[in-house]
A and B are shown apart, each in its own frame.
Chain A
Amino acid sequence: MRSARVQHLVLVGAGVVLVGSGVALVRTPPRADAPDIGPPVAAAVGSPSAAAPTGPADAPTPPAGPLAVPPPVTVSLPRTPGPVPLVPVGVLGAGALQLPERPTVLGWYAAGAVPGGPAGTAVIAGHVDSARYGSGPLRRLLDVQQGDIVEVTDAGGAVHRYAVASRTSIAKPGLPPELFRVDGPARLALITCGGAFDRRTGNYADNVVVLADPVP
């Protein structure tokens, strides 16, 4: 009889320990980690001193020589079936990029550079996943490799090719203004979310920035 009591006490004790550790694990945020590759964003894009983060209004007229590149309409990502549609997007008051609701449609930052243009960083961003619509093609950014090819098609039908050069995770909100330069070297920046996911607020802690260089 005494041993049965001990058994029940052990059962209760083990139960408490298991429930405690279980709850602790449940409370640990899930993560979407994307290890950094290549040079970090600031170094890759250029030093802030050379940046002109407020610059676009000063140079509205395109140079007389080459024709202007029309805005992008789709982007093809590595190991993703089919091109993903793009829409022009702007910025909300708090400095957050205004993205299409569905992860299957991406946003092109219209006040920045145009993909395929002669200069500046063209920015394409989108939801990695959504509580309502599930995960999207930008999930692939979390495991792209250096040298992977990204293709952007413009409204005129021309295809602009880029090769992935780096990936950097940046804690929100901390995207450097150099990332949105309309001058400097021509590059493509693909931005989505990653890092720890807070189930309560439905937010990721980081932005994952993939930089790609034009392929001639």
Chain B
Amino acid sequence: MAFRLMAEPGLAEYSEAVSGVPDDVPGRLLLTPSEPPMHRMSRLVLLPAAVLGAVVLTAAPALAAPSGQDVTWMQSIHQGNLAEIAAGNAAQRSATTTDVKQLGAEFVQQHTQLDSALTQAAQQLGVQLPGSPTPAQQQGLAAVQRNTGQAYDSAWIAEELGGHETAVAITQQELQSGSDATVRGLAGTALPVIEHHVAQLRTAAQKYGVPTSVPAGSGGQAADDELGTLGWALTGVGALALVAGTVGLARRRATTA
């Protein structure tokens, strides 16, 4: 319930100073004496309201809970951190170029740092974080791992570009519409780090140049093969005629001999 209250815009500012909850916070209204007097109500009728008010007051520390946006960002960026740490470790084992190995090491170190601050805040704020990267992130890394040699490094860079650009977008979103000051602070710290990683990845990708061709077909199903089919048909009929003619000639020679 505190969750839904916090989803109201503008409440974030109050979340840290519970003792000084301002008068316009919903829920506080129930106990405010300046409410319109309820002349006709008996004390018994007022009792549930008082109880409810007390519940709201005791639940007040929960007002510090972050908004839905804050929680979504914390969970998503945590999964991103986990994915990038896993990818960084994988690069140190499997990459062929020192560039990518170094990038991997740097990612592991910096995303571990970002993530330890994040998990600490999540604990304080009572936000549950997922234990592993998303299925899509896991599939992406698994697909990268199926490559060898230079193809591994190129695939790793592409996968990491995708992951980091997603992280930039969701972190900008948190900075724009997040509520909790602590969470926004974390996003503010993370953004330049992730943006720097994107820049490093783009520089690394540049060494491979831009594509000059796209090897985008190997089956021939899209190609019109009517001539080929006609060719096989003609060859078949021709072969039959050839065999029949030759057999006829040979038989004739045998009978005349």
> A residues within 8 Å of B by Cβ?
1, 4-5, 7-33, 53-54, 56-57, 60-62, 67-71, 87-93, 95-100, 108-112, 114, 123, 125-135, 138-139, 142, 155-156, 172-175, 177, 179-180, 191-194, 196-197, 199, 202-204, 207
Residue contact B217 to A127, C-beta cutoff 8 Å? yes
Size category of the binding interface on chain B? 35 or more
* Chain B minimum-CB-distance residue to A25: B231
Binds A, one of B81-89, B120-128, B244-252: B244-252
Q: A11-B248, A97-B214, A156-B169 are in contact. Are A18 and B228 (CB under 8 A)?
A: no
Question: Contact mask B204-237 → A, CB, 8 Å, 1/0?
Answer: 0110111111111111111111011011111111
Instruction: From the candidates B215, B220, B241, name the one contacting A197 in the complex (CB within 8 A).
Output: B220
Residue contact B211 to A180, C-beta cutoff 8 Å? yes
Mostly helix, strand, loop or mixed at chain A's interface?
Answer: mixed
Residue contact A7 to B195, C-beta cutoff 8 Å? no
Question: Contact mask B163-197 → A, CB, 8 Å, 1/0?
Answer: 00110111011001000000000000000000110
Instruction: From the candidates B205, B227, B230, B252, name the one contacting A1 in the complex (CB within 8 A).
Output: B252
- Measured between beta carbons, the chain B residues less than 8 angstroms from A61 are 195, 199
* Chain B minimum-CB-distance residue to A199: B220
Residue contact B211 to A95, C-beta cutoff 8 Å? yes
Q: Is B151 an interface residue (CB 8 A)?
A: yes
Instruction: From the candidates B169, B224, B231, name the one contacting A155 in the complex (CB within 8 A).
Output: B169
Q: A8-B245, A22-B231, A22-B236 are in contact. Are A142 and B222 (CB under 8 A)?
A: yes
**Complex Cα–Cα for A54 and B208 (A):** 10
Instruction: From the candidates B169, B214, B245, name the one contacting A192 in the complex (CB within 8 A).
Output: B214
Residue contact A111 to B196, C-beta cutoff 8 Å? no
Residue contact A110 to B158, C-beta cutoff 8 Å? yes
**Complex Cα–Cα for A25 and B232 (A):** 8
Instruction: From the candidates B213, B216, B238, B240, name the one contacting A128 in the complex (CB within 8 A).
Output: B216
Instruction: From the candidates B198, B203, B249, name the one contacting A5 in the complex (CB within 8 A).
Output: B249
- Measured between beta carbons, the chain A residues less than 8 angstroms from B239 are 15, 18-19
Pairs A–B under 8 Å by Cβ, sample size 22: A11-B244, A11-B245, A15-B242, A22-B236, A28-B231, A29-B223, A57-B199, A62-B168, A92-B151, A93-B150, A95-B212, A111-B158, A111-B206, A125-B216, A129-B218, A129-B221, A130-B217, A131-B218, A133-B219, A192-B217, A202-B218, A207-B214
Residue contact B236 to A111, C-beta cutoff 8 Å? no
- Measured between beta carbons, the chain B residues less than 8 angstroms from A172 are 213-215
**Complex Cα–Cα for A67 and B191 (A):** 12
